[in-house]
Structure formats: C-alpha cells, structure tokens
Chain A
C-alpha cells in the first residue's frame, strides 16, 4: 500500500521525496504488518458495556448511522447524470428522425 501511494506522486520531484524519507520508512512498517490479516489480540480480556462500540458510538436517538438510509441517489445535477440526460436525448432524437 505504501508503495502504491508513492507511485501516484512521482512528479513531486526528488526534493519532496527526500524530505519524506523518514516518514515513508515509518509508514512502511505498518504496511508490512498489514500483510497479515489476522484478527488481533485485545490488550484486555474483558470490558464494560459502556466501552463497547454499540454503546459508545450510539447517538442519543439510539441510531448508529452506519449505513446510508436510502440506496437512491436523487442528485441529478452531477456530471454523470447530465451525461446520461444528454445521451437519452440523443436516443430520442434519433427515434424521431
């Protein structure tokens, strides 16, 4: 992962690269560990209910907000939607001809 992020910025020049050397070496360490997909041992054996994810990160309304509520994207002003509309117009136009 660390190597791929390096790949994306080869244009930044050697100077930036040099300055970042100490950082990148420290970054590589966890990257090597990430190879390992193993579930880690917890530092403690047990914990209070207050420290569980469900209790600690639940809002007062009792919701965790993990997921988007709707799977619909009603934003029709983005690039892709506009492109789509153009395309559909073309289809319609060719029908009329």
Chain B
C-alpha cells in the first residue's frame, strides 16, 4: 500500500486490534511491479505534502505518519514508533529495488539487481529483529517476521541464481571450471540468509514472556524456513542442530499440536526426511506418517513428497508395498516405484536389479537409492518362498494333513536366483545369500552343507505369512 493516510490508518487498525497477519501484510513485497513502483514513489508525494517537513528525511516522515495515525492514543511508546519507522523505511527502500529487479527480468546483461533486493530486504529483517530486541515489539506481531523471513529466503535464491547465471554468461567456461569451493560460492546469499534466519530463530526461542504472549509461537514457522534453507544447502547436520536445540527447550515450549497444521505438517515432513537420511527408518516412518495424516487432503504435491520417503520406509520396516489405490493419483510415483514394486512382489530378482539400475539417477537424486536397494532382500525372500511353494507337498501319512516339502536342494534356489540373468552364481554365493536370509529372520531353517540341502522350518518357514 502506498505511503499516505490510507497506509497509516491500516497500520493503526492492525496495531489497535493486535492483528499480526494484517500488520504482516503491510510489509508484503509480493506485489506486481506497478504497485511496487507506486509505493516507492508515494514517499515523494508524501514529502511534498508535508509543507513543514521539507527538510526532513523520509524516515522522519514515516515516523511522523505513524505517530499521527491514532496509535498514540492507544498507548504506543515513542520507542516502538521509532522501531516501526525503521522497518517501514527499509520496506520503502526495498520496494524501489524490487521494482527495478522485476522490471528488468529477462533482460540480457549482467546485473546484480536481486543482490540489491536481498541486501535491502535484509535491512528490513534486521530492523524487525532490532524491534523485538530494543523497541518493545510485541509477540502478536510475529507474522511480520514470517513475511520478512519467507521473502528473504526467496530473494537470496534469486540473487544466487542471478549471480551464477551471470558467471556463466560472461565466461561460459566458468560452468565447467573447478572452483576452489564452488558450492559455497554458488549459494553465497542463501548461506547468508541461513545466518539471518538463525537470528530470527533466537529472537523467538529466547523470549521469556509467559507462553500466551511469547514469540515462541513463531518458532515452528521459522524452523521450517531454516529446514528448507538447510536442505537446499545440503546441510543435514545444521538441521539436526535445530532439532537438538528445540528438544532441549521443549519443556518451555507451547504444545506442538497447538500450532497451525501447515506448520505441523511441514515440520514433521522435514523431521521425517532427516531421520530417513540417517537410516533411522522407524523414526522416519513415525514422523512421515504423522505428516501424512495431518496434511490437507488436496495438497497433492506435498503428499507426493511425503510418499516419496514414506514408501521406501514402509518397505524396510514392514516389508509391505504401497497399494494400487495409494499410488493411483500420482503418476510420477507410479513411474518411480511401480517397476521395483512389481519385481519385489513377484520375486523377480534379476528384473529388480535391472529396474534399480534404470531408475538409479532418479533414485539418487531423491536420496532413496540406498534404501530401495535394501528392497532386494524382500525380492529375494519372495523368490525363495516361491521355490518353497513350488516344492509342493510330501506324501502325508494316513490321517494327517499334507506337509510341505521342507528339504530343498541348494541347487533349486541357485536356479531361481540366476533365473533371467546371464550370469552364473556359484553355490557358495547362493549359500551365502541363504545364510543371510536366515540371519535376518526372513527365512527359518538351516543349511546342511554335506547334503547340499536347505532344511526349512516346518512351522512358518517364511515368517510373517501363512506358510
């Protein structure tokens, strides 16, 4: 909104009714270029309107505007007004840069417009942090921090993109050169952003006011921003640190389930993926399932992301596959998982290896390759079970139920394992695979090497199933 009477009235209304989200909207940069330009220019008009204040700088003008908006009667302190004047002054300057950046978008030539936007916006964030630290901003205003933090990250990514693109445009060979530390240069702004977000995190966490009016209510929103940032920076250890700090202070924290569901789900998703990357699948499944259960039913893309990790998790923890109904709405997940799932179910070991290899790039990119690789055990187990079933029954004594053949030659398993593949697997290797299955509890029995036989348990040779 342009600086002027309307704007100050909006501020006064939000402040008087303690409407944090309304206040947050007043510093939204998410506007069309034309609006940004109008806001930026409005200060010039303001300047002309204040006949007595011709010599005042814009910050003083904003301060006066805020003071005269009616909030004074509501008991705002001059110190707080000063704090907001700093914030809005920084906002005003940002709109100018942002307008320039948006206008020139797509133009050729090397520019650093987004870096300027980032730098200006960072000043706004700092003004807000300062507001909480020394100007008495109250906890209900934290949606302003959300707005500021959210866009700081977006601008940081734009600035990084812009710089990386310029580097390649100016010197095409730069794209292939091995820099000293290419990663850190690539995400320069985003790393800086992570540090700023961390300061916001501290602002929220360190508040000692009673819970009802504590900035701790901002903690999950900010943590989620940090997670997204750290994930992009590929730094899971920093994400883990956040969780550690959170766990340490949990006693003084509002109840997790009292936070908005969007924050709960986003937090649980990241917590789950972190556990997943540490191969702590039980923990990962717990968090991801919670995210899944709480998520909005129409958030298709996010549901897809949850399932990308939940499905491999579930495969490891319970050895079961996703139902067709589950995958139905997600063609991308079908493409990702169905070939493997079919092979696992049928026990087609060789086809499993082929499918894993074919999807390797995609699996690695999504960081699920190692987990899915462990699905080979399940495929093998299902294959061995098929051999067992194919063995049929031995002739039962009279009056007794037929009993399955439980003595099976190693060579039969060997034939099954090599089926479809051109490679020959020698018997030692087969025995090794079988021993592993027994060790992992996927098959019950023992190997009688002298006879080249596997003797399977008569009761439940393949645990978890009827036979």
A contact residues vs B (CB 8 Å cutoff): 1, 34, 37-42, 44-47, 51-54, 56-57, 65-74, 76, 78, 80-81, 83-85, 87-88, 90-92, 95
Question: Are A66 and B322 in contact (CB-based, < 8 A)?
Answer: yes
* Assembly CA distance A66 to B333 (angstroms): 14
CB proximity of B54 to chain A, nearest CB, Å: 44
In the complex, what residues of B have CB within 8 A of residue A81's CB? 346, 386, 390
In the complex, what residues of A have CB within 8 A of residue B465's CB? 70-72
Question: Are B326 and A67 in contact (CB-based, < 8 A)?
Answer: yes
**Chain-A contact segment, one of B67-75, B106-114, B409-417:** B409-417
**What are 29 A-to-B residue pairs whose CB atoms are below 8 Å?**
A37-B305, A37-B366, A39-B228, A39-B269, A42-B296, A45-B260, A45-B262, A51-B298, A52-B296, A53-B292, A53-B295, A66-B322, A67-B318, A67-B322, A68-B321, A68-B322, A69-B320, A71-B345, A71-B378, A73-B346, A80-B346, A81-B386, A81-B390, A84-B390, A85-B390, A87-B416, A88-B391, A88-B415, A95-B411
CB proximity of B292 to chain A, nearest CB, Å: 6
Interface flag for B457 (CB, 8 Å): no
Question: Are A47 and B332 in contact (CB-based, < 8 A)?
Answer: no
Main secondary structure of the interface of B (DSSP, over half): helix
In the complex, what residues of B have CB within 8 A of residue A57's CB? 297
Interface flag for B446 (CB, 8 Å): no
Beta-carbon contacts under 8 Å, B395-423 to A: 409, 411-412, 415-416, 419-420
Which of B231, B270, B319, B412 has the largest number of chain A CB atoms within 10 A? Answer: B412
* Assembly CA distance A56 to B300 (angstroms): 14
Beta-carbon contacts under 8 Å, B451-467 to A: 462, 464-466
Interface size on B, residues (CB 8 A): 60
* Assembly CA distance A51 to B265 (angstroms): 13
Question: Are A53 and B466 in contact (CB-based, < 8 A)?
Answer: no
Extra 14 A-B pairs, beta carbons < 8 Å, given A45-B262, A52-B261? A39-B305, A41-B150, A52-B294, A53-B294, A66-B322, A67-B314, A67-B322, A72-B385, A72-B462, A73-B347, A73-B386, A74-B389, A84-B387, A88-B412
Question: Are B409 and A91 in contact (CB-based, < 8 A)?
Answer: yes
CB proximity of A23 to chain B, nearest CB, Å: 15
Question: Are B262 and A46 in contact (CB-based, < 8 A)?
Answer: yes
Question: Are B228 and A90 in contact (CB-based, < 8 A)?
Answer: no
Interface flag for B206 (CB, 8 Å): no
In the complex, what residues of B have CB within 8 A of residue A69's CB? 320
Question: Are B409 and A67 in contact (CB-based, < 8 A)?
Answer: no
Interface flag for B195 (CB, 8 Å): no
* Assembly CA distance A63 to B283 (angstroms): 22
B332 is contacted by which of A1, A44, A71, A84 (Cβ under 8 Å)? Answer: A1
* CB nearest to B464 among chain A residues: A71
Interface flag for B301 (CB, 8 Å): yes
Interface flag for B82 (CB, 8 Å): no
CB proximity of B411 to chain A, nearest CB, Å: 5
Question: Are B260 and A84 in contact (CB-based, < 8 A)?
Answer: no
In the complex, what residues of A have CB within 8 A of residue B415's CB? 87-88, 90-91
Interface flag for B177 (CB, 8 Å): no
- Scan B351-386; emit 1 where CB is below 8 A from any A CB, else 0: 000000000000000100000000000100011011
CB proximity of B380 to chain A, nearest CB, Å: 12
With contacts A45-B262, A67-B314, A71-B321 taken as known, whether A91 is within 8 angstroms of B296 at the C-beta atoms is: no
Interface flag for B303 (CB, 8 Å): yes
With contacts A44-B262, A54-B294 taken as known, whether A91 is within 8 angstroms of B386 at the C-beta atoms is: no
* CB nearest to A50 among chain B residues: B297
With contacts A46-B261, A95-B409 taken as known, whether A68 is within 8 angstroms of B296 at the C-beta atoms is: no
Interface flag for B25 (CB, 8 Å): no
In the complex, what residues of A have CB within 8 A of residue B265's CB? 42
In the complex, what residues of A have CB within 8 A of residue B345's CB? 68, 71, 73
* Assembly CA distance A39 to B268 (angstroms): 11
* Assembly CA distance A57 to B300 (angstroms): 13
- Scan B306-348; emit 1 where CB is below 8 A from any A CB, else 0: 0000000010001111110110000010010000000001111
Question: Are A65 and B325 in contact (CB-based, < 8 A)?
Answer: yes
Interface flag for B202 (CB, 8 Å): no
CB proximity of A74 to chain B, nearest CB, Å: 8
In the complex, what residues of A have CB within 8 A of residue B228's CB? 38-39
Question: Are A73 and B296 in contact (CB-based, < 8 A)?
Answer: no
Question: Are B231 and A38 in contact (CB-based, < 8 A)?
Answer: yes
In the complex, what residues of B have CB within 8 A of residue A46's CB? 260-262
CB proximity of B21 to chain A, nearest CB, Å: 8
